[in-house]
Amino acid sequence: MKYPVLIPNIFNFPFTYESDIDLKVGDYVYVPFRKSKITGVVWDTFEKTNNKNFQIKKILKKLEIKPLKKETMAFLNWFSEYNLVPKGMCLKLHLISGNVITNYEDENYSHFSKQKFVNKFTLSSDQRKTLNEISKINNKFRVHLLQGTTGSGKTIVYFEHIKQLLEKGQQAMILLPEIGLTAEFENKFEEFFGFRAAVWHSRVTPKKKKIIWSGISSGKINVIIGARSSLFLPFKNLGIIVVDEEHDQSFKQDEGVVYNARDMAIARANFENIPINLVSAVPSIETFANIKKKKYAVSRLTKRYKDANLPSYEIIDLNKNKLDKQSWISSETLKKVNNHLKKNDQVLFFINRRGFAPYAFCKKCLNVFSCPNCSINLVYHKHKNKLLCHYCGFQSQLSRNCKKGETCNFIFIGPGVERISEEVKLKFPNKKISIFSSDTMNKKSSKKKLDDIVKGEIDILIGTQLISKGFHFPKLNCIIILDIDLNSNGHDLRTAEKNLQLYHQLSGRAGRAGKPAMVYFQTYNLNQTIINQITNPDPFIFLENELKLREKNNLPPYERFVSLILTSSNEKNLENESRNFKKMLSQYLKDKILGPVNAPIYRVRRKYRQRLLIRSKKGSNIQKRLSEILIRYKLPKEIKLTVDVDPITFN
């Protein structure tokens, strides 16, 4: 008998195999493919071909694991069509790169076993009311936003909701935007539930991934805490999805298979016919628009847990408080910090730049050092004494031969966390100081560092935006924002929205234990609009105005954008092919097509990049029409096309 088998590869269709075994749609099978053997899945449709004489190979064996559920298969088919990704690549996301999945002994799952729940936490009346709202519908699809000011106890509310569903024998998936959040979140989860959740992200070992995959499929694991790729796991009885910090841009996968994990989580919940909770202090503009349309429900927690006060705000005017040469912190700011340190407050200096300085400049030959592979500047990291590219990872020693025949005499332009750390150490030599960024917090020592911060053993933190993402530091009561001027400009249509979300989250780290807290904006720009937006406790006011601007200018979410990026190592061929590609698109699409233009970061990893942008009306099914065109149009092999549906950045 003939069967269609989808394999985890770049093909958008299943291959036809034959077998004497009685197989059903969703069965996992082992098949020969080219010169290798690989795991595939019996799919729901046969490949379309005009070749009636192709050789049909035999299925080697059926794997004795639970079949892929029809709901998950429907989700993968939809995912492929929406994001214009070959179905085989979607299956690859599901299958852990095509490895055979085996069953594991129960002893591998003992620490994931669900315990009898013990109530250690008491909900406030507001939290109880919100819990009742989000748990009204527990057996069918609905999207519910849980919006609450930072420190209002949103996590405990949705933990209680998850507990209700676990008691009914269902599974839960919690999506987090950053790997760095998982360790602290794991501890919080175990403290509440009394057992461990399985953690899933790119740094989990292949062996452990296989154990977790099998445990989710068999129902031996109840809860996954994970990054984007958790979406493709084979849950036996998924009952709830939670997307924490739903606004966070880290949910966008922008390399390889491009997709937005928040939007795909909503789609998976729809196919599974289960509820999904989106959680945020400042929701995305898309989520807010869907609330306005009544497509999503919303519950709001406006008070902090145990009625802790939100921080107060103060502007430090750099026009009046001049910075000393090679200094980034004003004397007025230092006075404020000293006052807080005397009260044993923990202090955070915030600057959203890694490394020591974003530019290295030779004052002899006037050369600004840029990456040889990418069209961006190299960032100087002093603790490594190297120039680094944050895109391709290129590293270079600082010693350079000057174009004038001498050794370069470097000037470092602009501050990063390392530079601020040096200045802070000079000003406060007796204080314990620590940098909090992706360079320092993705190491084995980061758990101890987090514990030290929570215990108050670190006096002063210097942090990037990573510190804004859900951490609870009870002694942090003073935040100095050093770079609001650097983040307020730009041509990204989401700049204002991103800044609102970042600074709301950031200020929410302060005063969480009830002690009075302050956020200081050190700035040259006395335009109150930006700071008023950030400090207003109700972000919905900003989102309402932003939505009106988007509607007026036909911008997302009122139009669908599809970004098409062509890359090649041959600059001239790329320019010619990009123009030809646009001509082809213009023949078949009535939508507005902008470009081709050089991408803002024109060269990445030695590949040149041209960008086209399609602006299409919502509901016009641009993906289906574009898919049909892409089948007809054959790009040269040396040119790669990346399709980004609903782009959130334009680099």
Is 605 a residue whose pLDDT tops 80?
yes
Is 86 a residue whose pLDDT tops 50?
yes
537 vs 267: which has the higher pLDDT:
267
Distances in Å between the Cα of 474 and the Cα atoms of 169, 191, 240, 480 are 35, 17, 30, 17
Among 318-327, 434-443, 455-464, 483-492, where is mean pLDDT lowest? 483-492
Over residues 614-632, the mean pLDDT reads 90
| Confidence tier at 501 by pLDDT (50, 70, 90) | confident
All domains of the chain in start order, with CATH: 2-94 (3.40.1440.60), 106-305 (3.40.50.300), 307-547 (3.40.50.300), 559-645 (3.30.70.600)
Report the interhelical angle of 285-292 vs 539-552 (nearest 10°). Answer: 90
Q: Which residues on adjacent β-strands are paired with residue 348?
A: 461, 479
Q: Residue 96 — φ and ψ, nearest 5°?
A: 55, 60
Over residues 411-415, the mean pLDDT reads 87
202 vs 624: which has the higher pLDDT:
624
Is 407 a residue whose pLDDT tops 60?
yes
Is 447 a residue whose pLDDT tops 80?
no
Q: Give residue-wise pLDDT tens across range 502-553.
A: 888 888 888 877 788 999 998 887 766 777 777 787 889 999 999 999 999 9
Q: Give residue-wise pLDDT tens across range 323-333.
A: 888 899 999 99
In the prediction, which pLDDT does 490 show?
47
The one-letter code for the residue type at 155 is T
Closest CA to 609 of 395, 379, 373, 390: 373
| Contacts for 358 with CB less than 8 Å, ≥ 6 apart | 377, 379, 413, 414, 416
Q: Is 595 left (phi over 0), alpha (psi -120 to 50) or beta?
A: left
Among 50-54, 380-384, 643-647, where is mean pLDDT lowest? 50-54
In the prediction, which pLDDT does 489 show?
47
Is 430 a residue whose pLDDT tops 90?
yes
Q: Residue 507 — φ and ψ, nearest 5°?
A: -65, -25
230 vs 307: which has the higher pLDDT:
230
141 vs 408: which has the higher pLDDT:
141
Note the helical H segments in 202-349: 206-218, 261-272, 285-292, 331-342
d(CA 173, CA 274): 11
| Confidence tier at 461 by pLDDT (50, 70, 90) | very high
Is 52 a residue whose pLDDT tops 70?
no
The one-letter code for the residue type at 511 is G
In the prediction, which pLDDT does 504 show?
82
Q: What is residue 618's three-state secondary structure?
A: coil
Q: What percent of the chain has pLDDT over 70?
A: 94
In the prediction, which pLDDT does 179 show?
75
Q: Please give the helix or strand (H or E) that residue 567 lies within, else none.
A: strand 559-568
DSSP string, 133-198: HHTS--SS-EEEEEEE-TTS-HHHHHHHHHHHHHTTT-EEEEE-S-GGGHHHHHHHHHHHHSSPPE
Is 100 a residue whose pLDDT tops 70?
no
Q: How far apart are the first and last CA of the chain?
A: 50
d(CA 480, CA 267): 40
Q: What percent of the chain has pLDDT over 90?
A: 54
Average pLDDT of the chain to the nearest whole number: 88
Which of 47-61, 105-119, 260-274 reaches the highest mean pLDDT?
A: 260-274
Q: Give residue-wise pLDDT tens across range 589-601.
A: 999 999 999 998 9
| Confidence tier at 119 by pLDDT (50, 70, 90) | low
Q: Please give the helix or strand (H or E) that residue 502 lies within, else none.
A: helix 495-507
CA dihedral 342, 346, 348, 349 (to 10 degrees): 30
Q: What is residue 56's three-state secondary structure?
A: coil
d(CA 578, CA 561): 18
In the prediction, which pLDDT does 23 show?
93
Among 81-85, 252-256, 285-289, 582-586, where is mean pLDDT lowest? 252-256
Q: What is residue 253's three-state secondary structure?
A: strand
What are 339's two structure tokens? 């006052």
